[in-house]
Structure 1
Amino acid sequence: MSSPTQKPVLIIGGSGVVGSLAAQTLRRFHPELPITIGGRDVARAEAVARGLGHADAVRVDLSRADLGLPEGRGYSAVVLFVKDHTLNALRFAQAQGIPHLGISTGLFEVAPEVAYFMNAPQRSAVLLGTSWLVGAATLPALHFAREFKTLDSIAMGAVLDEQDIGGPAASADLERAASAAPNALILEDGKWRWVGGAAGERRFLDGDGNEHVGQAYSLTDPVSLAAETKARAIRLDAVVGLSAGRRKGGAYSVETLFELEGTLHDGTPARVRYEMSHAQGQAPVTAVGVAVSVERLLGLAGGAPVAPGLYLPNVLIKPTYLMRRLEEAGVRTRRFS
């Protein structure tokens, strides 16, 4: 529950496709939480704020150290839906001593954010939210891993519909990743490798038996799972193409496939497959990941606010809690043995 004196959560990019849905999801979770929608187009931000209630809007200028925000305004957290090439939003959060959550920084470009944190480690809780759909692959994988006594491999396949890229910010993220980091980091036979081209491809089946050719994708999911498990092979592959929803003649959907191999608790070797899907695409899933992250950072779902530190989603959020929130939002989970 939010406190009546809680300062607003500043959501930069909160008037975009995914940002506005995340703000709505956060409002559904916490009806009394103050929210400030920040963006370059203040009219769009104001429209989103009016729809939320108990919210306002501000113009944000990421080229300025103070973000161009009104003097004297305080916030409880900074949430970023656009790529901040200046890192001024992170510096602002550190100066205010409040949490920072960004979802647009790829694995190949986290070094500046890590360095800024290391320079002032006691200032802010910094959550690196650049996993697939903000935790919606890493945390379910850990949830499914409970079936196993030991894990040998975890392979995740993400199917993003070509009509479901998102707004301009999301498109820019994909283009930047493709041009700046054509290779992706995977764990293979216990060793980290950068792979690209044909070597980075993997074929996988969705829940309806359709084959996809995915390309290894550099997000934080493999490194998070490697830190949590003893699996010797971990990878995330993504394909932008035809989702199950459109394949069946409907609207676009999003699917994430999981293949786990290892030894079950009874000593039996096993390979288990899961599929998680949402009939309305990636935005509702990402919105839940962001909202759960914010409530965890601020201690809104029980427990104390998160102490200053550098975090990945799996360090802060219980897999069972995220699974429940995802199911409430319409995510469907299927298991295939």
Structure 2
Amino acid sequence: MSQPRSIVPGATYLLTRRVLRRHLLLRPDAAITQLVLYSLAVSARRFGIQVHALCVMSTHLHLVITDIKGELPLFLQIFHRLVALGTKVLRAWDGPMWDHEQTSVVRLMTPEAVVEKIAYTLANPVAAGLVRRGRDWPGAKVLVDELGRGTLRAERPAVYFNPANPRWPDEATLPLALPPGVTPDTADGFRRAVDAELERQEAQAYAEVQQRGYDVLGAERAREVSPYERATSSEPVRARNPTFAVGRKQPGAWERAATAVRAFRAAYRDALVHWRLGMRDVVFPAGTWCMRVLHAASIETCVRIV
């Protein structure tokens, strides 16, 4: 059974979702890029999600977002469903598309964590040995200069989306937002910090690729691989699924976040025990999502994780 997760309005996350058995179904061709961008734009607008950074790899995708309304589970459900159904049509794929593991949802608790995870997202193609610089990746992505001032834009795909349904506009657009705490006056400094962190991560990732004796695949070859093949590079077993990140050299922030997570989980489990005993007046901790939405349970008004 998965651990309970606090879902609160205004939280910023790094999201990762992987394709089943590392198939290359999200190969960076024009049709997949259009599908992902369109699905993301319509889903984010529907649920009030602010998108900060994006990188779609052949076997997985990364997003850095802020959940303004506290509706992250609904956004993930719809966005991943649209991408999966559209991909199944484009690739003539029979069966599930996404890995059976849950989406990795890492809450970014500090400005340092936001900078590091955005850089991590943009450097991912380098870490995978696909290109020398993240900006060279041909798939859907966000560049440093676009942070907080670019726009995601895609016409409605020719597959799956019914043009007669008003829910699917001819074109979907979504402005890229600045993360919470970054203002127009501090945006340039924020982008410089991301750029510096990205340069550090790319250099480290490229050095590790060279140490393993690999050659960079290159953008053209990445476009030409069969989407039905599977990635052959080694990948560590995912033994850890972190709940939050605070960035490097933030021990005090880590302790505070860990304490708050433990307190939320303990309070949730205690409330759930009473609920199962039939006590419908029990109050769940703030941030409880499923019990509130599906069962109309009472929720505290204060937030435990700050």
Q: TM-score range by the shorter chain?
A: under 0.3
Length-normalised TM-score, structure 1: 0.25
Structure having greater relative contact order (Cα 8 Å, sep ≥ 6): 2
Of Structure 1 and Structure 2, which has the larger fraction of its residues in helix?
A: 2
Of Structure 1 and Structure 2, which has the larger fraction of its residues in strand?
A: 1
